[in-house]
Structure 1
Amino acid sequence: MSHDTQLNRYAELAVKVGVNVQQGQYLWISAPVGTENFVRKVVRNAYEEGASNVHVQWHDEVVTRTHYERAPEEAFNHFPSWLVQAHDDLVEKNGAILQIEAEDPDLLKGISSDRVTTFAKVKGEALDAFYGAIETDRISWSILAVPSQKWADKVFPELPEESRMKKLWNTIFKTVRLEHEDPVAEWKQHIERLQARALALTEKKFTKLHYRGPGTDITVALPEDHIWLTGSSKNQAGAAFIANMPTEEVYTVPHRLGVDGYVSNTKPLAYQGNIIDQFTLTFKEGQIVNVKAEVGQELLEKIVAMDDGSCYLGEIALVPHESPISSSGILFFNTLFDENASNHFAIGSCYPTCVKGGDEMNDLEREVHGLNDSVVHEDFMIGSAEMDIDGIHENGTVEPIFRKGNWAF
């Protein structure tokens, strides 16, 4: 199968399965320069599926790097009101947003961590309503990736330079199941398998999970009426979409004040063009009380201290070690892929949809229920072939969930 044919299939998958464009729907695509060929195919597919208008917002890594290097300090305390309005308009129109990633994992290496975290906080606060719509599945959204040369260089440094992009393309195609004769049908079956696992976990009604592995011994309480979900969701109009492509996880929400112990990462965290690695977070009554990192200590400390909720957990996700992406043995330096190769936690905001009726609760009701809120939502990977996880029932009964990194039931 030619590369162009694969690209066409990938674009079709993004439109029909990722955001699942509906008749008359508005689609916003966020994409970096260098992805024009693929984006044009996505736009064509979107219109063929009945989109009313497709807007592409381009961004350029060189411009982004230059901005962080040379802009005055006050620039990082401002997010344009017109751009806030554009995001709000997308929500009001019940549109969909497709985010295409191709970022250099080291894009902002050496940039002041103050600039990086200050703007991340300002952006998060300005787009609070938009991110709220994302977290409650009010609108359809999806994230997928295409290679860039610098990203491919980071992932496959051992290969000849001219072979790296092709290798990353083929790897991405495989992770999104394009090798199957009918990828759309294969995705339907894949999601059904994940949903069966999520339903089984929900029905167990665990009150806590206990994780043990190298550098990790942590207990996570779960709120009453919690629900395990998959990467497949439905927007407020009832249309299905898949937020992350690829996706291998089932996930839920922890109780904000019920996390105790310590946890260490097993894969690097790529954050805003920086790498954070070899770190351990210690929790007491839900709060991160100690941060140690061999790489990116200062940046990680600032992320954790970004607001009142950034030092608490917002998500826990289960991914078996023998999942397809993990079995590839490839370290992507990209959370979209690495989180789907490993059990992971997210510090910061939660997905209220992980609690029965959570998307209809107000802020106070969510807080009482133990749900966390923050401008931060950063996944970090903790899984390995050595990890054991137990589920603890209300009566104290313990049931194995993971043994040696894989499902135990």
Structure 2
Amino acid sequence: MPKEILIDKLANLSVQVGANVQKDQVVVVNASTETRDIARKVVEKAYQAGAKEVIVNWRDEYTGKMAVEYQSIESLENIPEYAISRYKYFVDNGACVISIVSPIPGLNKDLDPKKQQAQAIASSKALNFYREHMMGNRSQWTIIAASNPIWAKKVFPNLDEDQAVEALWDAIFKASRVSEDNDPVEEWLKHNSSLIKHNQILNDYQFKSLYFKNALGTDLKVDLVNNHVWSGGQEEGTNGVVFNPNIPTEENFTMPLKTGVNGKVVATKPLDYQGNLIEDFWLEFKDGKVVNYDAKEGKENLKNLIEFDEGSSYLGEVALISHNSPISQSNILFFNTLFDENASCHLALGRAYPMNIQGGTEMSKEELAKHGYNNSMAHVDFMFGSEDMDIVGESKDGKKVQIFKDGNFVI
């Protein structure tokens, strides 16, 4: 089957299952110049689904790099009113968002981290209202991926460029459950059903704490908030529309108690942060906060992440993924969180999702904070799962339950 037909299927999946575009809804498509062809398909599918208006937010990684390279910090910190008004329009009109990622790993390696940090903080502050809207699931949102030559060569360095691009497309399709002989929409209905069953098992336990341990040096205790909710797969927005935020996804995740994380975690995959790769790193937590860390590559970028704001040195998410998940079993390192987080248990530094606590989407930030919610302008996942990961859950009455053994679910 020609690749164009599979791209058509993936685009349709993003509209029908990912964002679940509603009739007469405004749709925003975040796309880069690397994703032009599939972006056009997504726009077409969105209109065919009944969208009232489809707005494409184009960006270019290379001109974005030039902006940081040549502008002053003062200029980078100036977020013009027209840019803010654009996002207010999205929020005010209940727009759903489809983002197409196609990273250029390591592109920003030589940029001044201080300038990158200044730009990111200024943008996050100016658009915090939009981030809160989307992370609070007040509109549907989803993320899919597209291949490009530089990313493909990073993932498949031993292949010629054209072969690498095709191999990465193939890996994206497989991970996204898109194939020649299936209906991806039907496939995702089955997949969501499986993830929901695991969520229910974990929710019924209502563990007080999770203990993580492996031979690489991870020895970590993560307390969970009371009345936490395990999520994964499809979610329901506060507008009543069911959607799938990530394509692909294999995770079951919930909210850690902000001040209840203690011990050491060792990352098992590189992290692409602001176009820079952070490799071979570890973090040590005390009473929820990162108190020590190191990295063989990208330590300054890791420092920027941890110091992004007060909340970025605390956790906002803990996610469980079996080592035998399809993406893990592919043995492909994607150098991209959308995929690599679904091959491995992961944690997120920064903001928690309000939906991960009962009634959280109706709570104010102050109410959420009383329950142990972590607020931040950042939310960055990093991977720490392994084939020998051991996870034990402790109930409120002190009972210990084996959740993972040898990297996989046993409950």
Residue matched to 1:265:
267
C-alpha separation in 2, matches of 1:264 and 1:311: 16
> Match for 2:186: what amino acid?
A
Alpha-carbon distance in 2 for matches of 1:14, 1:104 = 22
Tell me the residue number matched to 1:348.
Answer: 350
Instruction: Give the match for residue 362 of structure 1.
Output: 364
Contact 1:215 1:280 in 2 (8 A): no
Please identify, of 323-332 and 297-306, the stretch whose mean Cα deviation from structure 2 is larger: 297-306
Superposed CA deviations along residues 356-393 of structure 1, whole A, max 9, x for unmatched, are: 01111112111110000001110000001011000001
1:301 to 296, 300, 303: 303
- CA distance in 2 between counterparts of 1:402 and 1:118 reads 40
Give, in whole Å, the separation in 1 of the partners of 2:225 and 2:352.
Answer: 12
Unaligned runs of 5+ in 1: none
User: Counterparts of 1:307 and 1:51 in 2: how far apart (Å)?
Assistant: 37
Q: Match of 1:257, SS?
A: strand
* 2:137 equivalent to 1:137: yes
Q: CA RMSD in A?
A: 1.0
Q: How far has the Cα of 1:231 moved from its partner?
A: 3.2
**Structure-to-structure mapping, 1:10-409, within 5 angstroms:** 10-179=10-179, 180-213=181-214, 214-409=216-411
8 Å Cα contact 1:251/1:318 also seen in 2: yes
- Paired AA for residue 327 in structure 2: I
Partner SS, residue 258 of structure 1: strand
Which range moved further: 166-175 or 87-96?
87-96
CA distance in 1, matches of 2:367, 2:159: 53
Tell which deviates more after alignment, 55-64 or 266-275.
55-64
- Residue 107 of structure 1: how far off its partner (Å): 1.5
The alignment partner of 2:34 has SS state of coil
TM-score by length of 1: 0.98
Shift of 1:80: 2.4
Question: Partners in 1 of 2:200 and 2:117 — Cα distance?
Answer: 37
Cα distance in 2 between the residues matched to 1:298 and 1:173? 34
Distance, in Å, in 1 between the alignment partners of 2:80 and 2:230 is 36
1:229 aligns to what SS in structure 2?
coil
- Aligned-partner Cα distance in 2 for 1:79–1:402: 46
Amino acid at match of 2:260: G
| Cα deviations by residue, 1:322-349 (Å, 9 ceiling, x for unpaired) | 0000000000000000001000000010
Aligned residues: 409
Q: Residue 306 of structure 1 aligns to a residue in which SS?
A: coil
Q: Residues 144-167 of structure 1: CA distance to partner in whole angstroms, max 9, x if unpaired?
A: 110111100111001122211011
Per-residue CA deviations over 1:44-86 (Å, capped at 9, x if unaligned) read 1111110000011111122112112111221221222222221
The one-letter code matched in structure 2 to 1:121 is I
Contact 1:15 1:45 (8 Å CA) reproduced: yes
Tell me which amino acid in the other structure corresponds to 1:262. Answer: K
DSSP-derived class of the 1:389 partner: strand
Partner Cα distance (1:305, 1:268) in 2: 19
**In the aligned structure 2, how far is the partner of 1:337 from the partner of 1:79?**
31
Measured in 2, the distance between the counterparts of 1:88 and 1:402 equals: 43
Q: d(CA) in 2 for partners of 1:182 and 1:377?
A: 33
| Partner Cα distance (2:191, 2:233) in 1 | 11
One-letter amino acid matched to 2:283: L
1:105 alignment partner, SS class: coil
Q: What is the aligned-residue identity percentage?
A: 40
The TM-score normalised by the length of structure 2 is: 0.98
Give the secondary structure class of the aligned counterpart of 1:35. Answer: helix
AA of the residue aligned to 2:209 = K
Gaps of 5+ in 2: none
Q: Are the equivalent residues in 2 in contact too, given 1:347–1:379 (CA < 8 A)?
A: yes
Return the offset for 1:283.
0.4
Q: CA contact under 8 A between 1:121 and 1:376: conserved in structure 2?
A: no
- 1:124 Cα offset (Å): 1.3
2-structure distance, mates of 1:80, 1:267 = 37
CA contact (8 A) 1:348 1:375 kept: yes
